[in-house]
Chain A
């Protein structure tokens, strides 16, 4: 049981390049989330998914796209990277069940630098 894993751990991009971040969970969770963490800003929700085949915008969705083709995977795409997207990205997942406590399980993060 690996929990929530993220690939890659580090990445450096040039402005305008594209990339995809992969999040995988093996806990059969319905909800998955992508956050970005910046100093002094806490964690801000980018996009989330309430189940396979669904996605929704969070607090800061501009410049990002997501897909949830399989229940266990949630992909975050940057089509044309900008320096403002330099951040640490975290994926999280939650079990959707009656009386759920909303506990989110986080991955280890991806540190992205856009030059």
Chain B
């Protein structure tokens, strides 16, 4: 079974709105939590990542929130733009250079 559970499967947001994607894990050995963005016909690309020693990381309009005690982390996309329409994957690694990916969330931003 998947070690990282991601929800929702898809979401639609209006331009300027906030997109929120949630992930949960069980393996307490995970210590690296990246988010990847994938456009149709392309390979995934690293968007933003966090380690469990911080509870939040922000890069531009993208923010990761991390709750170590709940074993959950989430991606917030602020001021969503049509160009943000893509599939987003959360992932986790126990620092052995292998990543476990969530199932993905397809985000559609309506203009």
Contacts and interface: CB of A to CB of B under 8 A. Distances in A.
A and B form one complex: yes
Interface of A: 4, 31, 33, 40-45, 48, 50, 58, 90, 92, 94, 96, 100-109
B49 A42 contact: no
Contacts of A44: 101
B84 to A, nearest CB: 19
B44 A40 contact: no
Closest 9 CB pairs of A and B: A106-B43, A42-B101, A43-B101, A42-B103, A106-B44, A103-B46, A31-B97, A102-B32, A108-B43
B32 A101 contact: yes
B2 interface: yes
Q: Which of B36, B43, B93, B102 has the most CB of A within 10 A?
A: B43
Contacts of A107: 43
Nearest to B31: A102
A106 B43 CA distance: 5
Given A102-B32, A108-B43, 14 more contacts: A31-B97, A33-B98, A42-B104, A43-B89, A44-B101, A90-B44, A92-B43, A101-B49, A102-B34, A102-B93, A103-B34, A104-B46, A106-B45, A108-B42
A55 to B, nearest CB: 13
5 contacts: A41-B2, A45-B98, A106-B43, A106-B44, A108-B42
B89 A42 contact: yes
A92 B32 CA distance: 17
Contacts of A104: 46, 99
Given A42-B101, A42-B104, A102 B95 contact: yes
Contact of A41 (B45, B46, B97, B103): B103
